[in-house]
Amino acid sequence: MYGKVYLVPTVLSADALFSLPAYITDTVRTLRIFYVENERTARRFLKALDKRIDIDSLQLLPMNEHEPPDLAKARQLLQEGHSIGIISEAGCPAVADPGQLVVKTAHSIGATVIPMVGPNSMLLALMASGMNGQHFQFAGYLPVKPPERAKAIRELEAASARKGQTQIFIEAPYRNNQLLKDILANCKPSTQVCVAADLTAPTEYIRTQSVAQWGKQAFDLHKRPAIFLLAAE
């Protein structure tokens, strides 16, 4: 019998263990092998879940942009009957996350994949934005170079207007301020923009207002994990 793949959500904020259901801890206690995006973060998370977990006895396998997951090893482990946990850097694994590749491998051999309930920044932001939650698109990271990014923002705004669709995207936290400035410079004054930062943290910040309104105030989102949403009026 093949092993199973458990998609283990982690916290969005270090002090938000309350956002995780108890059954996640129960499941993690049974697993000895994990694919993790960041070993240091994963170790800290597992120890916070249960101090009795012997972290050094676990097999923590890398999966990130610099070191893709070893899919041949994942296939072998599952075929030998070993179950695997997948832990992202924050939130739900396999969503804007390399854990997707391990999940795809599991499906290719008919192994069971079990998604577990936990916080997802995109859905939390969409829920709180007041924008269309029935028709939306996640565009991931926008281009870094200014000309390409400006073009991408205008295209997202046009698609939102044409389809009545909420556009959701993200940025590296140290580039948040520049992204918001670029949104304000390239979108119509009536377009609605939501910024949801530090979700589930004590400093949680969620605000939806028009481009014109954003342009009248100061903001500082530097190094704050954030989700951006856009809806053309």
Residue 52 confidence (pLDDT)? 95
Q: What is the mean pLDDT of residues 13-22?
A: 95
Q: What is the DSSP string of the chain?
A: ----EEEE---SSTT-GGGS-HHHHHHHTT--EEEES-HHHHHHHHHHH-TTS-GGGSEEEE-SSSS---HHHHHHHHHTT--EEEE-SSSSTTSSSTHHHHHHHHHHTT--EEE-----HHHHHHHHH-S-SSSEEEEEEPPSSHHHHHHHHHHHHHHHHHHT-EEEEE--GGGHHHHHHHHHHHS-TT-EEEEEESTTSTT-EEEEEEHHHHTTS----TT--EEEEEE--
Which residues on neighbouring strands pair with residue 194, listed in sequence order? 208, 229
C-alpha torsion sign, points 48, 53, 55, 60: negative
Torsion, Cα 137 142 146 147, to 10 degrees, reads -60
Residue 96 confidence (pLDDT)? 87
How far is Cα 215 from Cα 185, in angstroms, rounded to an integer?
A: 9
Q: Identify the band that residue 209 occupies on the pLDDT scale cut at 50, 70 and 90.
A: very high
How far is Cα 35 from Cα 71, in angstroms, rounded to an integer?
A: 10
Residues 6+ apart with CB under 8 A from 107: 113
Which structural domains are found in the chain, ordered by start? 5-115 (3.40.1010.10), 121-231 (3.30.950.10)
Q: Percent of the chain scored above 90 by pLDDT? A: 97
pLDDT surpasses 90 at 202: yes
How deeply is 178 buried, as exposed, middle or buried, from its count of CB atoms within 10 A (0-12, 13-18, 19+)? Answer: middle
Which pTM value belongs to this model?
Answer: 0.93
pLDDT surpasses 90 at 215: yes
pLDDT surpasses 90 at 174: yes
Q: What is the mean pLDDT of residues 193-206?
A: 98
Measured from the Cβ of residue 82, the count of other Cβ atoms closer than 10 Å reads 16
Mean pLDDT of the chain: 97
Helix axes 146-163, 176-186, angle to 10 degrees: 60
Residue 150 confidence (pLDDT)? 98
| Structure confidence by residue, pLDDT tens digits, 84-105 | 999 999 999 999 889 999 999 9
Residue 168 confidence (pLDDT)? 98
pLDDT surpasses 90 at 65: no
pLDDT surpasses 90 at 9: yes
Q: What is the mean pLDDT of residues 60-75?
A: 96
pLDDT surpasses 90 at 6: yes
pLDDT surpasses 90 at 128: yes
